[in-house]
Structure 1
Amino acid sequence: MAISLIDTFRLLASFDPPRRSLRGAPWEEYVDWAIAQGLAPLASYNLEYRLGGADAPEWARDRLLSIYQGSLNDNVMKLVNFKRTVDDLEGRRLLLLGGAAFADTLYPHVAFRPVLEIQMLLRRMDVEAFAGYLSQHEFRPEPDEPAHGAARVVSDGRTPIFLYADVLGPERRDEVQGIFERAKPMRMYGSSIFRPDLEDMVLLVVLQHAREGYQVPWLSFVDLRELVMGAKSMGGLYSRPMDVALLLERAKAWRLERSLYASLSLVARLFPETAGTVTPALPTLRRATRELLDRLVVNPASEPGQMSHVRGSDRLRRLLTGR
């Protein structure tokens, strides 16, 4: 019996996949797509160590396994180098975002979550000072204009570091200040590195989705799945139930209710087992707004490769962020 691409994705993106054969899966389509979406390391581990190969073709297993091994080596190199760089930094409160914040708190193994870059949230006044500090450790400004809304991007030739500030706009600096005040220390990286609290991190992931017009790797929806579900495979900062009332209150204050609806609806669509947790956290929107978001975002983004027609849409970004 043929197995769809979405079913292959769901099985191989699970932290507890049911044992079954994937002989009829669309491997020619899945392998390249999974690599591009950042899903290959977790898929490879599941195939090799949880599913006994699952009757997948040898070439597919070999290719995914090479990505898994490369992800492990690359992640360790980047994170160890980052630790050496910031370990002695004192007197700051710098927030780690994205893959570097998730690899050890959401994923059972650091290799499962590729860390392509390091993302950090800083107070505006700290951006230049921290960029200067990084320059003492061979991190230089990237020649191009900062991308993805970053204030600065620096790199040592191996690891780009994206520095963000005023992520909610200058008119909501009090809300951003709250993110810093609620952040929890990441002592493994020294005294100056922190991680946003759970509800803040959910909304920061949602904000990134919206600003990218949902042109994000599907790995980001795995991140959000684990945040929303309370990182049950782990025992760290994000391993607790979400405070739904608090999440909805902050989403309204940050003007991210539409984006939260879209991102959570996508998680429920991609991972049906999350629906019971996700549904109570969906913001209350007008029916017309929900239908518009479903048509423009949720429906196309839940099909592999179907979002190119909205790429770069300023109208969509304004709709999602309430601006």
Structure 2
Amino acid sequence: MADVAVPTSAGIGDGTAVSGTLTGDRQGPWQRLLLVLFIAVPSLAVPAAVWIAWGWGVHWRDMVIAAVFYVVTGYGITAGFHRLFTHGSFRARRGLRIALAIAGSMAIEGPVVRWVADHRMHHQFSDRDGDPHSPWRYGTSAWAVAKGLVWAHVGWLFEPVQAPQRRYAPDLLADRDVVRVSRAFPLWVAASLLLPAAFGGLLAMSWQGALTGFFWGGLVRIGVLHHVTWSVNSICHVFGKRQFVSRDRSTNVWWLALPSLGESWHNLHHAEPTSARHGVLRGQLDPSARLIRIWEAIGWASDVRWPDPVRIAARRLP
């Protein structure tokens, strides 16, 4: 990618002010064309799936394939791209680290280094100038927030200037395993689309099974996961409850907790970004934290940053 200058007045990591410019990465025309393709097609598959299910029903085989790939790629994003690679909430053994990088890549939300750089930049400037996807970008009027929600949900993905990877993800660029997985992103895209079709065809022993496996386990699953992930960027900064002190407008949205595998306890996450558990209050289900706990118990994860009850209590709003 070529480098371009991005004006800024904020620092790195702690949000303190500095002067100068950032060197941002610019998307090329082919990248933007592929971005449109991989956003539009799965997104259109979701309403088509409702119509197909209403008219013809869905075979259990396709639902199982879709559910398995949703869980695997979803945890790749939540436990992998987000809690491990972006925030260092725990340390993972090499095999798990590589597996999570691949699983997250198969969600088709971008290569791991790109995803991490964007998200670290979001935390530095959260809901202020410089945030890649704040829904408060245009102001606080009803119309401005409506436009901001669209921007935060999907519009920001088409911004030509992106977070500079060399500044926001130097640790990952120094990790050979992560760089190899990131550079092989087209391979993981192909696997994400073709493996559900292969399983569907083998289970049904027919081309029809391959086609429905591709549709439900590939396109529909990717479309749903995309919009759930993007909802954390948009909905979880406008609607929901603020239960903890944070320097932005992040919220907790209970009804997104299970689809997002625990990511929608977003207010706590912004209050304590490195915490391995986001749902810390009674009844706040956090499947990603539960999975990390299992990995810790069997020795696959270590140095897990579980929430400190004293710090949590200190940040709790009345």
Do they fold alike, i.e. is TM over 0.5?
no
Q: Which has the higher contact order (CA 8 A, sep 6+)?
A: 2
Structure holding more helix per residue: 2
TM-score by length of 2: 0.28
